[in-house]
Amino acid sequence: MNQIINTLKLPKHIAITMDGNGRWAKEKGKNRLFGHNNGVKAVRDTIEGAVEYGIKYITLFAFSTENWNRPKQEVNALMTLLVSSIHKETKTLLDNDIKLQTIGNISKLPNRCQKELCECIDITKENKSMTLILALSYSGKWEIINAVKNIIDSNITKEEISEEIFKQYLTTKNVPDPELLIRTSGEHRISNFMLWQIAYSELYFTDKMWPDFRREDLKKAIINYQNRERRFGKTNKE
């Protein structure tokens, strides 16, 4: 298999479900928070790798609607980690010309998180090389229900509704659908992520736990994607 990324066949948008922090820590006899803290290193290296490889959009599933049901202590620790990571990594985003965006029910996040996110989004809004989208308090079903509610509140008629119009009511309205969805930790499921947008995404699963994931693993996933044939329901080219 070709081990070099073909720059003519790059996915524009890669989505990643960053899973396995807790199990990674447990293997080392540490608590779950140790795993989450180490997950931040993986985020930084993956983002820098994505810029290096020429990816235009990367979405990271960082906290799901369902994750609110975890023990309060873990949820609080994750929110604190989010604030400190955004604060520390704003420079990385500026140095790499990365624009930050979020998807999800951001109003449910603690005020300190919302404030830190707003500041970083504002500071990086003119950046052009890549867009980093953090999915926070996000679920695909929530997003679809939210779109339906907003359509009902608009003047759109039933006849006007189409896939293109519907997409305009999703939180990813200005973002192309991900060609590639990566999930770490050996779990083979979607867990309510981007249900509309992944209709034709290529799925890539790796057994690596998220804190061990690095830019080389992203490269491997991109090359694997480039060796697939995307048929979109048609017959193959031969």
Under 8 Å between Cβ of 218 and 46: yes
Of the candidates 110, 54, 124, the residue with the CA atom closest to the CA atom of residue 82:
110
Least Å from the CB of residue 231 to ligand IPE = 28
Kindly tell me which of 64 and 197 has the beta carbon lying closer to ligand IPE: 64
Q: How many residues does the chain have?
A: 238
**Does the protein bind ligand IPE through residue 19 (CB under 6 A)?**
yes
What is the C-alpha end-to-end distance of the chain, expressed in Å?
A: 20
Active site residue 212: no
When binding is defined by CB under 6 A, the residue of 10, 12, 23, 105 that contacts ligand IPE is 23
Kindly tell me which of 185 and 226 has the beta carbon lying closer to ligand IPE: 185
When binding is defined by CB under 6 A, the residue of 5, 42, 55, 62 that contacts ligand IPE is 62
Kindly tell me which of 5 and 104 has the beta carbon lying closer to ligand IPE: 104
| Long-range Cβ contacts of 113-116 (<8 Å, 24+ apart) | 113/79, 113/82, 113/83, 116/82, 116/83, 116/86, 116/87
**Does the protein bind ligand IPE through residue 213 (CB under 6 A)?**
no
Least Å from the CB of residue 206 to ligand IPE = 14
When binding is defined by CB under 6 A, the residue of 15, 18, 82, 133 that contacts ligand IPE is 18
Kindly tell me which of 31 and 224 has the beta carbon lying closer to ligand IPE: 31
Active site residue 76: no
Under 8 Å between Cβ of 104 and 137: yes
Angle at 140 between CA 134 and CA 142, to 5 degrees: 100
Distance, in Å, from the CA atom of 21 to the CA atom of 57, rounded to the nearest integer, reads 23
When binding is defined by CB under 6 A, the residue of 20, 49, 140, 178 that contacts ligand IPE is 20
Q: What is the DSSP letter of 231?
A: -
Of the candidates 103, 95, 88, the residue with the CA atom closest to the CA atom of residue 51:
95
**Does the protein bind ligand IPE through residue 191 (CB under 6 A)?**
yes
Q: Which does 204 bind (CB under 5 to 8 A by kind): Mg ion, ligand IPE, none?
A: none
Under 8 Å between Cβ of 178 and 222: no
Active-site choice (31, 45, 67, 192): 67
Distance, in Å, from the CA atom of 71 to the CA atom of 31, rounded to the nearest integer, reads 13
Binding site for Mg ion (CB under 5 A): 19
Q: What is the binding site for ligand IPE (CB under 6 A)? A: 17-23, 61-64, 66-67, 78, 185, 187, 189, 191, 210
Q: Which residues are catalytic?
A: 19, 67
